[in-house]
Structure 1
């Protein structure tokens, strides 16, 4: 199979078919896998994919595809790619036409997604919108929380607005990828002086027991206050581990507080603790 697009959906299906024994060719126009994630995460995932035998081709521009020789021929700027099947995973389009939104006065973005504020209100105060149709992170758990924010606003019980930077992003590849907040590059571009703590799963006993030692936890913090700006995990159960640093960031906690929380042993969560301690150079086991 040939998969066009190495974002979350593309790498998830690449993992799925690879583990079924299918030869997978993964094409990505940009220069790295999961290009919205931290660059270190992209590098680690690429290493894991190559080790698994997935043919990752980066910086490839696709110009077309056609049926050929009992399969599909994909035309690229680096030559033809032939496969039995083709999966296009290059994003999603909003289904907002023919709903009468314009007639109701609801404003849309040029790409068709509905414009909303932090309370999920559209340009018409009495109309709210949630889910994939409003754009942003097209994730089920994000849509669910947007529904809570909208319901509270409708009921006149505003508690907390929708904060896009606090949405956890989870990719169910192997190894898994999970993140919250800013990447290291984004934090620097936002004007922050940063300090970074990083800890590998290879130094975690539980990861060794399960033979899942690939990956790491990376924490980006403000250099002066230590406040968490972003957490990036690639490795076993990354999607389970991201909730704790996300909660810390929600309550504007710092790396010291996260590192001082006593984590049970032996667990993968110790990597979160060690990465938090590593922000100030105090990691113990690596």
Structure 2
């Protein structure tokens, strides 16, 4: 996730009196009469009614014939290319077993690509840099495309801009003013390659953002669109304008 998205989420959780123990993972858990007692890496102990373990998933792919087929496995995951082809001709793989993005909508898209490619549509391919995600926290989080950190890791020159929801009338009307929309664009051609949102209706807003990133819409092209008022979607347009140094309302508010 975008670094600033993490920062806003942490702030929102603390406002709700959620205690965070970042960088101090639990090393032991025992049942007690009242619930569970956790021992953290630092030695600190926490007693609570319930503990939810969310440590990710591991593939269950061994012992079911994959090796006999000669499939290329890495840490139990079936390796595929952008067409969802494995290293064995005629065999495709999709979904969590590929170890890509463990999301239902991504698996569904992979399935469509695999079928289309298998039926001869050679251009059918998965763009892993254009997969939207939504996290249903409060405030909501949604993201599609590259973050600034990923651009730096790939040595991609980029431009970025953002716009806070608290500058919008709609956000004040619904009482949800935390968060922002951030836009990342390639410095070379100003194509939008990442949009990151934390705030009201983020999971809905990301649908339009997915189109923008997938089609490689430029900042100038996006700036020529009109967003309805009053809506939270105005933050997307304003963030684009902020990348260009032309966000009128952000300047007016001194944000």
TM norm. shorter chain > 0.5: yes
Q: How far 1:222 moved relative to its partner?
A: 1.8
| 1:196/1:219 contact within 8 Å kept | yes
Moved more, 52-61 or 170-179: 52-61
The equivalences for 1:185-196 within 5 A come to 185-196=149-160
| 2:116/2:124 contact within 8 Å kept | no
Structure 2 CA distance for aligned equivalents of residues 70 and 94 of structure 1: 34
- Partner of 2:73, secondary structure, is coil
- Corresponding residue of 1:31: none
Match of 2:49 among 64, 80, 84: 84
- Corresponding residue of 1:163: 127
Find out whether 1:122 has 2:86 as its counterpart. yes
Structure 1 CA distance for aligned equivalents of residues 10 and 223 of structure 2: 29
Moved more, 52-61 or 268-277: 52-61
Find out whether 1:97 has 2:99 as its counterpart. no
Structure 2 CA distance for aligned equivalents of residues 225 and 159 of structure 1: 24
Find out whether 1:180 has 2:144 as its counterpart. yes
Find out whether 1:52 has 2:12 as its counterpart. no
Match of 2:186 among 222, 233, 246: 222
Q: How far 1:157 moved relative to its partner?
A: 1.9
How many pairs were matched up? Answer: 249
Q: How far 1:253 moved relative to its partner?
A: 1.4
Residue segments in structure 1 that go unaligned for 5+ positions in a row: 1-36
Q: How far 1:62 moved relative to its partner?
A: 2.0
Moved more, 229-238 or 245-254: 245-254
Find out whether 1:39 has 2:3 as its counterpart. yes
Q: How far 1:99 moved relative to its partner?
A: 1.9
Structure 2 CA distance for aligned equivalents of residues 165 and 200 of structure 1: 25
- Partner of 1:265, secondary structure, is coil
Deviations, residues 166-188 of structure 1 (Å, cap 9, x unaligned):
10111111111111111111112
- Partner of 2:74, secondary structure, is coil
Match of 1:109 among 51, 56, 74: 74
Find out whether 1:274 has 2:238 as its counterpart. yes
Structure 1 CA distance for aligned equivalents of residues 96 and 192 of structure 2: 28
Residue segments in structure 2 that go unaligned for 5+ positions in a row: 251-255
Structure 2 CA distance for aligned equivalents of residues 49 and 105 of structure 1: 48
The equivalences for 1:185-264 within 5 A come to 185-264=149-228
TM-score normalised according to structure 1 size? 0.84
- Partner of 1:161, secondary structure, is coil
The runs of at least 4 consecutive aligned structure 1 residues that moved more than 3 Å come to: none
TM-score normalised according to structure 2 size? 0.93
- Partner of 1:86, secondary structure, is coil
Find out whether 1:148 has 2:112 as its counterpart. yes
